[in-house]
A and B are shown apart, each in its own frame.
Chain A
Amino acid sequence: MDEIRIGVFVCHCGTNIAGFVDIASVEEYVKTLPHVVFTQRNLYTCSETGLLAIKNGIEENKLNRVIVAACTPRTHEPLFRGICSEMGLNPYFFEFVNIREQCSWVHQKDREKATLKARDLIRMGVARAALLEPLEKFQIDVKPSTLIIGGGISGMTAASNLANQGFEAIIVEKDIELGGQLRHHHKLYPGNMDSQEILSIIEEILKNPKIIVHTSSKIKDIDGYIGNFDITILKDEEEIKFGVGTIIVATGTDLLKPKGLYNYDGKKVITQKELELLFKKDQFNFKNIVMIQCVGSRNKERPYCSSICCMTAMKNARYIKEKNPDAEIIILNRDIYTSGTYQETYYRDARKMGIIFSRYNESKLPKVSEESVIYFNESMKEEIEIKYDLVVLSTPLISYGESKELSKMLKVPIDEFGFFLEAHVKLRPVDFSNDGIFVCGTCKWPANVPESISQGYAAASRVTRIISKDSFTVEGATAWIDQDKCVTCEICLKKCAYKAITRDEEERVIVRTVLCKGCGVCATTCPQHAIEIRHYTDNQVESQITALLEGDLVE
């Protein structure tokens, strides 16, 4: 075997690391570690200058292992591995040591110990790097088709975009027809466009030969992996199976029914959605209307702003005023959410039309009695009583209960409110961290129609990146079963959450590498120690522990 030549690049990350860790002394220390032939400090290792330094470092010092001690592999590992590949080094010879999230940021108050810990962490990395082995990533075939779960506006938008690019899309909708929430809307803010107008996309979808629609259908099972998902659905009791390359989740939201709040009865005290249904059926006939905002939102139970209900309330109040200028409408609110360009004008015009906006405080909620609403007016410092013939409650969008089940089937996370959780809120807003699965529309977070449509396009774009190519490259760091040690007890097979372990034709227990995420669960459960996780082998991990125990910090 060739001599092991490790290069260590220690990053300042501006002052993110250097502000709390003595980088110069860390570098001096690292020079003394075994196999380390080159070290360097960089202000930002990920900048083009820093990357060039790595390249030069590799070339000039014949490095065959590269360590970057910096931030997190979550955002930066692909970049540094890529640089190694560019220089002809197997990317698995790259080792990341996190001295930011795991060190400088959490020990901001103790520079000395943080510095010692950074040394320990790097020493562990160096020990492991010496034992790293080259691995190959491999290619899998990709079916150029997409399953879209949910046929609301966001899902339909994604389907239409993909089909127009020539890709097949399959929509699975649990309801009897497409359209989602929009079917129940009257007009849409700000221009009073009829919601039916936007829903004309349904016809286009039904006509498009590239799109298959399954209504009254439920997802029963999802198996497989990016490029080759196996889907089973239940359509009117009947099972249908098909395969797709990618999946988009577009299941939208429910609207909170304010049971037990403000004497909600669905007749004299109703929701905005019910109000719009009255408009649609032309059954609206009220004159004194009180609307209450943030009903069941921005409170302890649901500490989020649903972002669409202020505009919705104004839309409906304006409609009433337009039809009947004598109608008295007061909107009781905590803050008015009209963020963006046209929204503020919409609000200003609503006030000009004579719609009253009055503030209430979260600590003194309004009270709804048989005939009147009583609320505490902050500026007048007194309770005010308003007679009404209709109270409309603005309730938030909430997740469907079944999202939980779906998230389990897809192996993607949901947040505390049941909204789907994207891979990165800012930079990967419609991706899941699980390859090949994407998300759009309100099932991710409350959004209005244009935002939901944009997200539908965005998900289609992310899908197109994958299905426009014939193959996809998957991770090489996976589990491997030593057949000499395996006694086929199948404990691992039951434990693997990704269903990556199966029996092959010869009845051996094997890992389907494309499915394996390298999570390591199987390896820890195997009583025979027959399973090894490549890139995280026992001896690699042990070397790190041994290196840690040599440290100065362990007391």
Chain B
Amino acid sequence: MNQNAKKVMVIGGGIAGIQSSLDLGDMGYKVALIEQEPCIGGRMAQLDKTLPTNDCSICILAPKLSDCFRHPNIKIHSLTQVQKISKKEQGFTVTLLRKARFVNEDLCINCGLCVEKCPSKVLDTFEMKMNKRKAIYLYYLQGVPAIMAIDKEKCLYLKNKNKEKRVCGFCEDVCQHNAIDFTQTDTNYTLESDAIILAVGSNQYDPTPLYAYGYKKYKNVITGLEYERMISASGPTEGHITRLSDKKHPKTIAFVQCVGSRDVNTNPYCSSICCTYSTKHAILSREHDEEIQSSIFYIDLRAGGKGFQKYIERAKNEYGVKYIRGKIAEIKIDENENPILFYEDLDTFDVKSKKVEFVILACAMIPTKNSDKLAKVLGIELDEFNFVKSSIDSPVNTNVPGIFACGACLGPQDIPHSVINASGAAAKASEYISRTKR
């Protein structure tokens, strides 16, 4: 069967989009993988280790990134977003917007000379703004495609382009491969596609509005994703667990569950993955420093995945993690900025308090920013929480024939579920194309 002429577009280059692309590429489809960031990888690229086996996230992801990059049937469209879509008799015509990278993809060899010379520093979003990068940057160390991009807003040259005198441009001077190209502009182009897979993932809830937790008010209260970067060897503190107030290494850590989840005032649903990822964090903390005592404040402990229950037993028995069934009412700090948690013990219904040195908030998984707009463009329905709507008998279908969905854009889910749905969406796309196009 020659399927070479058939094309699938995958929107979103997290682990789900990557898996769909690889399966379809192997089946012989031509895949266009659309990613809005400079590199593919998604959330998984930011994680330190992955539960329940604690293998290093980027280590198991990196071969997949390379497979995608090298696959003869897959083309990665980075810094690109979907603008418009029209349904044809067979398949779709998609208009894309590619943001200027200001670096020639074919010429840059990722030598890093430009980064050294660039004088403009920017808060690094990949590192959850816990440190700075330059205006010219590689999205993350193992990122694919492994080429630089220039941040238009922060580049001194581009910001002062209309001035008489040339400002900066050091990167251009130092690049021996003539890869810097300040003349690039944002461009629109169209692609034809026989089917589409949506894999735009999810975002993290920002707990600032929940004043009682003191996020942003207290330096020693951070989120789970920030902690994930902090314990990562390639992260902003090179893997050292460090209080943001005084750079000290905390010995007592509290993990607060269901922050912005299971709460009718914010997000009424359960985010599924945080009970186990906080357990992971507590285990890893102890591995970083044997003196660390972790307590996890939870309402119900949700660990249904393969090996998860035993993971929790291990945390209790081998890593001394304490699980406290308690709902946090408020977090305050003492004179040394040590957080004090006031909570209702849900077993005894007494109000208690506990002082620790560091607090990690397990925040809800919420729909990806602007995914509602994308849904409108594609004409697909969302559920009451703004995740892509599916049904129990067609779990990877959307309401539009030919458009499928996978990964965390369908609702909170972990990596195994995302990978399963991703292969599933690939099978459905292939089935759809086989039935509609011969």
Contact = CB atoms under 8 A, between A and B. Distances in A.
Nearest to A101: B55
A48 B112 CA distance: 13
Contact of B435 (A164, A190, A336): A164
A48 B146 contact: yes
B66 A46 contact: yes
A191 B392 contact: yes
- Chain B's interface size range is 35 or more
Contact of B434 (A165, A426, A454): A165
B23 A461 contact: yes
Most buried by B among A16, A339, A445, A455: A339
Interface string B362-386: 0000000000000000000001010
A43 B313 contact: no
Contacts of B425: 457
Interface in B412-435: 412-413, 415-417, 419-428, 430-431, 434-435
B145 A48 contact: yes
Interface stretch (B86-94, B213-221, B233-241, B242-250): B233-241
Most buried by B among A51, A449, A461: A461
Interface string B145-164: 11000000000000000000
B423 A457 contact: yes
B262 A344 contact: yes
Interface string A455-472: 111111110110011000
Given A48-B66, A429-B420, A461-B423, A338 B270 contact: yes
B347 A379 contact: yes
Contacts of B27: 461, 464-465, 468
B421 A197 contact: no
A209 interface: no
B393 A197 contact: yes
A428 B427 CA distance: 15
A319 interface: no
B1 interface: yes
Interface string A199-233: 00000000000000000000000000000000000
B295 to A, nearest CB: 17
Most buried by B among A13, A198, A335: A335
B167 interface: no
B306 interface: yes
A44 B58 contact: yes
- Chain A's interface size range is 35 or more
A164 B301 CA distance: 41
A440 B303 CA distance: 20
Contacts of B52: 425
A279 to B, nearest CB: 19
A527 interface: no
Most buried by B among A14, A336, A444, A468: A14
Contacts of A1: none
A188 interface: yes
Interface in A297-319: 298, 303-307
A361 B392 CA distance: 33
A71 B59 contact: yes
B348 interface: yes
Interface stretch (A74-82, A480-488, A511-519): A74-82
Interface string A426-466: 11111000000000000011101111011111111110110
Interface of A: 13-16, 19, 43-44, 46-49, 51-52, 71, 75-76, 78-79, 82, 161, 164-166, 188, 190-191, 193, 197-198, 298, 303-307, 335-345, 348, 359, 378-379, 381, 419, 424-430, 444-446, 448-451, 453-462, 464-465, 468-469
7 contacts: A13-B59, A164-B431, A303-B313, A305-B308, A305-B309, A340-B412, A458-B423
Given A381-B348, A425-B52, 9 more contacts: A46-B62, A48-B146, A75-B59, A193-B392, A298-B309, A427-B419, A454-B396, A454-B417, A457-B425
